[in-house]
Amino acid sequence: MTNTANEALEITRRFLKAMEPLDYDTALALVSPTCVYINPPPIGEVIGPQGIRAVLEPFFSPTVENEFKILRESGSGEIVFLERLDRHRLKDKWVELPVTGVFEVKDGLITYWRDYFDAATILAQWPTG
């Protein structure tokens, strides 16, 4: 089964919506076991739901609330591009990060996810301890 652009967009939207309250089980059920997830350095590349969780769970640990605002979206077949504003509420402030994500969805699962952002922007605002 292949996905239409609308199906691929819907799956990526559901994934991000589940990640707002950090519902890893629901979100990662939409991810292929062989999904490649890539972030700018120093984070790098991981594989599959367990690799994604290993990156995101500690990163999001200081957040009280998350919001992934989709500003623009485009899809062609299995490929989805999302321009987002990722907002993270920490105990004392909101942190915002402009992000562009590229997703590939096959057979109803995300098989590729790459986020483009300026790592220095988020690291300068994020707690270090």
pLDDT in tens, 81-106: 999 999 999 999 999 999 999 999 99
Tell me the CATH number at 32: 3.10.450.50
| Residue 60 covered by a domain | yes
1 pLDDT tier (thresholds 50, 70, 90)? very low
Domain holding 44, by residue range, is: 5-123
Please, which pLDDT band fits residue 121 given cuts at 50, 70 and 90? confident
Q: Is 107 a catalytic residue?
A: no
The single residue of 23, 107, 115, 118 carrying the catalytic annotation is 115
Q: Higher-confidence residue: 4 or 115? A: 115
* pLDDT on residue 129: 60
Number of domains in the chain: 1
Listed in order, strand segments (DSSP E) in 1-129 are: 31-39, 44-47, 65-76, 79-89, 94-106, 109-116
Q: Is residue 42 part of a domain?
A: yes
Q: Is residue 68 part of a domain?
A: yes
Residue 129 lies in a domain: no
Q: What is the token pair recorded at 22?
A: 């950090």
Q: Is 23 within the bounds of a domain?
A: yes
In whole angstroms, what is the distance from residue 86 CA to residue 83 CA? 10
The residue behind tokens 């790592």 is 119
For residue 86, indicate whether it is catalytic: yes
Q: Which of 86, 92, 107, 118 is catalytic?
A: 86
Asked if residue 40 is part of any domain, the answer here is yes
pLDDT for 111: 98
pLDDT digits 0-9 by tens, 15-72: 999 999 999 999 999 999 999 999 988 778 999 999 999 999 998 999 998 999 999 9
